[in-house]
Structure formats: structure tokens, C-alpha cells
Structure 1
Amino acid sequence: MIKIAPSILSADFANLERDIGRISTADYVHVDVMDGMFVPNITIGIPVVRCIRPTTTLPLDVHLMIVKPARYVEEFCDAGADIVTVHVESDTPEGIQSAIDKIHAKGKRAGIVLKPATPAQAAEPFLEQVEMVLVMTVEPGFGGQKFMADQMDKVRTLREWIDQRNPGCELEVDGGVDPETCKVCIEAGANVLVAGSAVYKAADIPARIAQLRG
């Protein structure tokens, strides 16, 4: 089954509990954390994750767009994250390994993220250790960008590797996912789709979530 992870980056932050409730038919709540250094934007942090945790029974899929994430992954786990994904570009391989180990030590699922310019090969050292690989189909940092279809070759490659080496790992796509581009992502092998504005701007959110499942 295709899973949908609406991004609360597109929610109304003055009514966050309400807007998380509106996506109750989804599979994950996608939480974008940006530090203004790894990406040119600042969003939310640990206190907000802690506050939203009691508002939903859905798993929190926390995407860290921050420098040296191993410094903070344990705090995000303690705040209520169920899945924590870190960018391979955000630290040395040793630093990324440390982040993965710390997430697992907290009993949570760990994932790695690849920016558009990062080749699939960057995932290989971690592929057999993680529960999720996230491919960015926009440049991370801002919502509402145009979907980058050229990333589908990377998704296909990663799907092949995952099937061979770590079949339980989920393959997530984030950026520009809508009722049309979702079909391309699913065909390429993604099984988790992050969608922000495509969900929150829909007149009927449950219907849109169902539509995105393909």
C-alpha cells in the first residue's frame, strides 16, 4: 500500500492541532525541521514536536534539514518522533552513522535523505541499516516548488537496491507531489509520498489523500 505523509509545513500554524486532525486518514505526519544553515529557511524545532505529539496517533515522520544532526536526534526522539531522517550531505559519513545509531538506540526508525544533486550511491553505506530512504524531488528549504521528474531514475535505482538488500526499508519522495506527479513516483518505486500544499489546499482533504495513493 502507498502511504501518504502530509507535510505540516503547509498547515496553518495558528491552528496546528486542528490541521493535524484534518489529515487523520493519512499514514504519517511529516514534520520539516530547518535550521537556517543547512537550508536557507527556519521552521520548527523540538518544542513544537513535543507539543504536537499528543494531538495525533499517527507516527511523526521528522525530516531534519539541519547541520550535524547527531547533536539533536535523541532530543527529537524523546519529543515524540517515530521516524527521524537525516541528510547525508549534512555531516561526515561518521557523523551520519552516529545519528543513525543514536536514533536506533532510542528505539525509533532512522532514515537518510538525498538532495536532488546527490547521487543514489551516497545512500549505499547506510542502506542496510535504515528503515527509510527519502529522495528530495525539490531543493530542500521551501514548500511549493516544482516537481523534479529527473529524480525518478534515482528512485528506480534505490528501489532496486532496497528490494535486493533491505526489503523492509521504505522509499519516500518529498517535493512537488500532487495528483499527477504521484503516479510517476509510484511507478518509479516510491511507497511513501510527502505532500504539503497538494493536501492542505484541497477542498476535501480525505479525498485528496485517497487520490494520492494512486
Structure 2
Amino acid sequence: MAAPLICPSILASDFAMLGEEIRALDAAGADWIHVDVMDGHFVPNITIGPDVVKALRPHTKLPFDVHLMVAPVDPWLEAYREAGADILTVHPESGPHLHRTLGRIRQLGARAGVVLNPGTPLVVLEDVVDLVDLVLLMSVNPGFGGQSFIGSTLRKIERARALLDAAGSKAHLQVDGGVTAANAGACVAAGADALVAGTAVFRGGPTAYAANIQALKSA
């Protein structure tokens, strides 16, 4: 079984030192940089705008995996792509026409992803699976870091993997929320190939990042 991609969420980083944090994650062996964008409307928090993403882009060549927790989402796609996003993931609930939104992301030259909250059914993927490069399953309700992993997500990972395989999709299957070395192995065994982790990566400061990332990869 291949090691999963590790995608540290900078939501858990030191916001006063974001550039340094990005460089440290790169040096520590991160695969993608996960950027949680929250608007205080779709979720109860406010985080990172496109200008911040643009400022961080020169600090690494790693893909920027930008999770857009904003509504309406369509007006922001171009701004985040121009700022340096390589992957743009959107919630079905954040706009009226998911198929159109995913198509627009691809027109902009980015990879397109769909994010499913714990209460969002997998059926929404069935008619857009051909436009999806990434499926992100939330294992917490989005809005804040540091939450505990919802155990029933493991069954949802299995069902999502079966859906993607049946469709012949090569999309990545990513999990986000409460991911630690204690449950990372179960997520991968269920079918995930990419893990978003915040606290589990950033615990202990920059000198611990490499060991924390390796612990997740080898769990």
C-alpha cells in the first residue's frame, strides 16, 4: 500500500510566520499545502484571502490545495487561481450549479475538487465524477481546527473509494479533520490516499514537522 500524500493545513500554523512555516513544511517533506479559506458565512470563522495566498506562493513550489469554504463560491474562483492555487475544492452547498463550478475551475487551469461535509451524501458525486480530480471527505464539521475525528467517516471513505473505482476515476480521495497518526492508517486502509492534518503536523514546532509527517505517512 502506497504512503498517502500528506497535506498540512496551515490553519494550525503560526499566522505571524506563515512564510517561514511554508518553507519548513516543504523542507520537512509535505506533499501539498492545504489552505483553508473561510468566509464567516458558510462556516463560522474567517481565515485567508487571495492576497495572502499570493504572498505565500513564492515560498514553495509545492501544490497549493485550496479548500474554499465560502458562499457563493463562483465569484472567488478566478482570484484564488490567479493567486497561485493549484487545486480548488468546493462544497456542493456553496453554489447553485456544481457541474458549472467544476467546469470553470478546470477552464482556469486548476484541478477541481468536491468537498463533502459529514452530513452531505455521496450521491452528489455521481453526476460530476468525470469533472473531479479530488474528493475531500470532511471528518469534522468545517469551521475550526482541533476537532475530533468522526469515526463513521471510515465507512464513508470505503463507499467513496468504491464509487470512484466503479467510475474508473483517478481522483484523489482526501480526508480532513482530526487526522492523527492514530487514525491515519485506518483512513488509508479504507481507501484514502491523501490526508489533511493540522495539529498532528504542527505539534512540537518546526523541528518536529518532519517526524510528524513521517508518522502520518507510515501509520
RMSD: 1.1
In 2, the alpha carbon distance for the partners of 1:26 and 1:166 equals 28
User: Which residue is equivalent to 1:43?
Assistant: 47
Q: Does 1:86 align with 2:83?
A: no
Which residue identity lines up with residue 152 of structure 2 in the other structure?
Answer: D
Report the Cα distance in structure 2 between the residues aligned to 1:9 and 1:132, rounded to whole angstroms.
Answer: 20
2:75 counterpart of 1:71? yes
TM-aligned CA deviation for residue 68 of structure 1: 1.8
Contact 2:130-2:169 within 8 A present in 1 as well: no
Shift of 1:146: 0.4
Equivalence for 1:118: 120
Matched, 1:155 2:160: no
Amino-acid identity (%) = 45
Q: Which residue, out of 20, 23, 28, partners 2:22?
A: 20
Query: For residue 123 of structure 1, what is the amino acid of its counterpart?
Result: L
Q: Provide the C-alpha distance between the structure 1 equivalents of 2:194 and 2:138, rounded to a whole number of angstroms.
A: 12
Instruction: State the alpha-carbon separation in 1 of the partners of residues 92 and 153 from structure 2.
Output: 16
Matched residue, 1:101: 103
CA contact (8 A) 2:129 2:169 kept: no
The yes-or-no answer on 1:8 pairing with 2:10 is yes
Residue 196 of structure 2 aligns to which amino acid in structure 1?
V
1:107-128 Cα deviation digits (max 9, x unpaired): 1100000000111112222112
Aligned to 2:152, the other structure's residue is in SS state helix
Q: Which runs of 4+ in 1 moved over 6 A?
A: none
TM-score (norm 1): 0.96
Does the aligned pair in 1 maintain the 2:103–2:131 contact within 8 Å? no
| Maintained 8 Å contact 1:128/1:166 | no
Structure 1: state its 5+ residue gaps.
Answer: none
- State which of 160, 176, 179 in structure 1 corresponds to 2:178: 176
Q: Following the alignment from structure 1 to structure 2, what is the Cα–Cα distance between the partners of residues 87 and 202?
A: 32
Deviation digits for residues 129-164 of structure 1, max 9, x if unmatched?
110000000000000000001011111111011112
Range with greater deviation from structure 2 (204-213 or 5-14): 204-213
Q: What's 2:136 paired with?
A: 134
Aligned pair count reads 212
1:72 match: secondary structure = helix
1:28-70 superposed Cα distances (whole Å, 9 cap, x missing partner): 0000000011001111111011111111110000000001211
1:138 corresponds to which letter in structure 2?
V
State the 1:97 CA deviation: 2.0
For 1:32, the equivalent position in structure 2 comes to 36
Q: For 2:142 and 2:77, how far apart are their aligned partners in 1?
A: 19
Provide, for residues 80-115 of structure 1, a one-character-per-residue CA deviation record: whole Å limited to 9, x for no partner.
0000000012122x2x22221111011110000000
